Structure 1
Amino acid sequence: MPEVTINMAAGRTDEQKAAIMRDITTAIATHAGVDPENIVIQINEAPLAHKMKGGKTFVERKAAQGK
């Protein structure tokens, strides 16, 4: 049973996350020949203040971009 874990910064809607998980399920089923019923996808979200890239938290990065 394939299991995929996705780590991402928080901020996407439930609809966006469901679409991501559906697309990944389809890709695994298609390319690995696995029944979709046997594929598990999990999304782990981190608050923007708990995730860092390039020495800046995602909150700092967002503020620097003016968003």
Structure 2
Amino acid sequence: MAGALSHSGAPQRGTSTTETASMPEITINMAAGRSDEQKAGMMRDITKALVTHLGVDAEAVVIQINEAPLAHKMKGGKTFVERKAEAGK
């Protein structure tokens, strides 16, 4: 059976890695604030990396960005709004 995976997730004998690696899907969670151009550039670079290192077609790569407002994202007990305000002092 071409392109099949074993129960462990490893390719079965007689199948190539390219056959089994069909559609990598990447989800990126980040704070809002980057431009569309920055996000598109990042997604292009990630796509190129997957093509180079995983040997998949660019057409098979799916990338989704989930953005959170700065008030809805926290690090070290402070929202990103609070961190930004402190950095500006």
Alignment correspondent of 2:58: 36
Q: C-alpha root-mean-square deviation of aligned residues, in Å?
A: 0.9
2:46 maps to amino acid: I
When you count strand as a share of all residues, which structure comes out higher? Answer: 1
* SS of residue in 2 equivalent to 1:43: strand
1:9 maps to amino acid: A
Unaligned 5+ segments in structure 2 are 1-22
The question of 1:18 aligning with 2:62 is answered no
* SS of residue in 2 equivalent to 1:34: coil
How far 1:3 sits from its partner (Å)?
Answer: 0.2
Please say which structure displays the higher CA radius of gyration: 2
How far 1:7 sits from its partner (Å)?
Answer: 0.2
The sequence identity of aligned pairs, in percent, is 81
TM-score, scaled relative to structure 2:
0.74
Greater length-normalized contact order (CA 8 Å, ≥ 6 residues apart)? 1
When you count helix as a share of all residues, which structure comes out higher? Answer: 1
Unaligned 5+ segments in structure 1 are none
TM-score, scaled relative to structure 1:
0.98
User: 1:44 & 1:20 partners in 2: Cα distance?
Assistant: 14
